[in-house]
Amino acid sequence: MTEDDIEVMQKIFNPGSVAVIGATASSDRIGYNLLDSLIYGGYKGKIYPVHPKLKEILGLPVYPSILDIPERVDLALIALNQRDTVDVLEHCGKLGIKGAVIVAGGFRETGDEGRALEKRLVEITKKYGLKVVGPNTLGIMNLEAGLNATFYPVSLKKGNVSLISQSGGIGFSIIQKCSDEGVGLNKFVGVGNRTVLEISDCLEFLAGDSGTKVIGVFLEGVENARRLVQVAGKVAHRKPVVIYKVGQSNEINEATLTHTGSMAGPYKLFRDIFNQYGVLLAGSVPELVASCKALSLCRLPAGGGLGLFTYTAGPTIVALDRLAGRKISIPGLAPGTVRRIKAILGENLPVVLKNPIDTGGLGTRPGTYGLLVDAALADHNFDLLVTFCCPHKNWPNPTRELIAAHQKSHKPVLTCYISTVKGVEEDREALQQAGIPLYCSPDEAAWGAAALIHYSRRGGALHGNA
């Protein structure tokens, strides 16, 4: 992207004023909910609802048309049908508006008539230098600016993970999973049909965005796959990129073609090329979020030696199974670590000391748990540590002990409390504020560790960023 393009993108995500064209007073309509999202999200700029007949919506004065707004707006949210959308976009261009979000579908994904409309839309954007998100999109967010320009009024935690999604529904699924996991979001962009702004453009913009530390992407398919993987690989040298690519079955191509007008393409080819460029691929929404969570909270490990500590063996077995085939080192214990553990638990142990470290019932007390975590973190074979426990009504969770051990060590720590999300909310808040991701399943803990190790291999700028 050129510097001018980046400047327009900055205006789109940090607008001083927003026009909602097609705003209505009916809460079941998209235009109403775009307006409601701006207000509910805490947007502080000027908001101009546009409707030909209404005088007021949600306490805001309404303008008959965009031509009646007394100042040039930075961002137009267009909630009209596809034909009226194209006509209004022409008005936006004539007024000097450079950024627009087009919610309507009915373009190339619907056939020849839709393709003709989309062609006209492209001609207008080129004529006036417009940048358009969509069409056929959920919208965009920038939590730093209090901007929720989607038609879902939600309250979200602010953080350093930004998301790009080709699907509104899956994009919202990722957003909700991030919320469940206590992952703070920075920006979201639903690219929809990618008529003007491609996924690659959004990646380039977020690569230079100071509020974004980690980028998560949901990808159906693209026409210019070469550019996408090259850009993703380049961006991944600066900050982690995690991509969930759908399309492992032959039936996917037809479904994606009628959804966002794209072809999913051969999954294996995408996987192999992304691996070649060093971009991390996830296989599901939970894996995408688990990976982004670890990368957003932890510093990268110095190497790939993974240690695991538990007093219940099953979760570590599942975690190891999830890590199989990823070329992750599970080193043995250093002799000094064995001596240190025996000094804590006694010489005649009813367990075999190895990695994963499984102490059975001897490790359930928080004080003992903390000492054992200290011992594991001191092992020179381990570059990061994943710990496991099962919260119990009568046994305190080792949250304070984990935080204390982490503060004494330079190594990243991830933990898994086998529980419901609601059951460990207070612990999660404390742990994640201290830089320790908390997961509720061993699968997710393993995915988080794998993401850290993947990007530790990239080295260089990423380590300076972590």
Residue whose C-alpha is closest to residue 182's, from 411, 451, 424 = 424
Crossing angle of helices 442-456 and 285-297, in 10° steps, is 60
User: What tokens appear for 274 in the block?
Assistant: 């992304």
**Distance from C-alpha of 412 to C-alpha of 279, rounded to nearest angstrom:** 21
**Distance from C-alpha of 402 to C-alpha of 415, rounded to nearest angstrom:** 9
**Distance from C-alpha of 289 to C-alpha of 165, rounded to nearest angstrom:** 13
Rg over CA atoms, the chain: 25
3-state secondary structure of 415: strand
Average pLDDT for 260-266: 51
* Tens digits of residue pLDDT in 185-234: 999 999 999 999 999 999 999 999 999 999 999 999 888 888 999 999 99
Residue whose C-alpha is closest to residue 209's, from 61, 6, 418 = 6
Non-local CB neighbours of 428 within 8 Å, separated by 6+ positions: 182, 421, 438
Non-local CB neighbours of 53 within 8 Å, separated by 6+ positions: 64
Does residue 389 have a pLDDT over 50? yes
Does residue 122 have a pLDDT over 90? yes
Residue 259 binned pLDDT confidence (cut-offs 50, 70, 90): very low
Average pLDDT for 236-241: 96
What was the pLDDT predicted at 224? 87
**Distance from C-alpha of 190 to C-alpha of 203, rounded to nearest angstrom:** 12
What are the C-alpha distances in Å from 325 to residues 65, 276, 294, 328, 415?
A: 59, 16, 20, 8, 22
| CB 237, CB 210: distance < 8 Å | no
What average pLDDT does the structure give for the chain? 93
Residue whose C-alpha is closest to residue 182's, from 348, 447, 389, 427 = 427
| CB 256, CB 221: distance < 8 Å | yes
| CB 403, CB 426: distance < 8 Å | no
What was the pLDDT predicted at 255? 46
Evaluate whether the domain defined by 156-297 bears CATH number 3.40.50.261: yes
Q: Which residue has the higher pLDDT, 263 or 242?
A: 242
Does residue 251 have a pLDDT over 70? no
Average pLDDT for 115-123: 93
**Distance from C-alpha of 146 to C-alpha of 312, rounded to nearest angstrom:** 44
**What share of the chain has pLDDT > 70, as a percent?**
94
Residue 265 binned pLDDT confidence (cut-offs 50, 70, 90): low
CA dihedral 146, 150, 156, 161 (to 10 degrees): -90
How far separated are the first and last CA of the chain, in Å rounded?
26
Evaluate whether the domain defined by 299-465 bears CATH number 3.40.50.261: yes
What was the pLDDT predicted at 466? 47
Where do you find CATH 3.40.50.261 in the chain? 156-297, 299-465
Pairing of strands 280-282, 413-417: unpaired
What was the pLDDT predicted at 263? 44
* Tens digits of residue pLDDT in 405-461: 999 999 999 999 999 999 999 999 999 999 999 999 999 999 999 999 999 988 745
Return the CATH architecture of domain 1-136: 3-Layer(aba) Sandwich (3.40)
Residue 248 binned pLDDT confidence (cut-offs 50, 70, 90): low
What was the pLDDT predicted at 108? 85
DSSP 93: H
Average pLDDT for 93-101: 97
What was the pLDDT predicted at 249? 53
Average pLDDT for 256-282: 71
Beta bridge pairs of residue 216 = 163, 242
Residue 250 binned pLDDT confidence (cut-offs 50, 70, 90): low
User: What tokens appear for 304 in the block?
Assistant: 């790939």
**Distance from C-alpha of 279 to C-alpha of 292, rounded to nearest angstrom:** 13
Where do you find CATH 3.40.50.720 in the chain? 1-136
Does residue 160 have a pLDDT over 70? yes
Does residue 271 have a pLDDT over 90? no
DSSP 334: P
Q: Which residue has the higher pLDDT, 461 or 270?
A: 270
What was the pLDDT predicted at 269? 79
**Distance from C-alpha of 309 to C-alpha of 374, rounded to nearest angstrom:** 11
**Distance from C-alpha of 276 to C-alpha of 260, rounded to nearest angstrom:** 27
Average pLDDT for 288-300: 98
User: What tokens appear for 181 in the block?
Assistant: 């996991």
Q: Which residue has the higher pLDDT, 141 or 263?
A: 141
**Distance from C-alpha of 287 to C-alpha of 219, rounded to nearest angstrom:** 14
One-letter amino acid at 334 equals A
**Distance from C-alpha of 289 to C-alpha of 217, rounded to nearest angstrom:** 10
Q: What are phi and psi of 408, to 5 degrees?
A: -85, -15
Burial class (CB in 10 A: 0-12, 13-18, 19+), 400: middle
**Distance from C-alpha of 458 to C-alpha of 295, rounded to nearest angstrom:** 13
* Tens digits of residue pLDDT in 101-113: 999 988 888 888 8
**Distance from C-alpha of 130 to C-alpha of 123, rounded to nearest angstrom:** 10
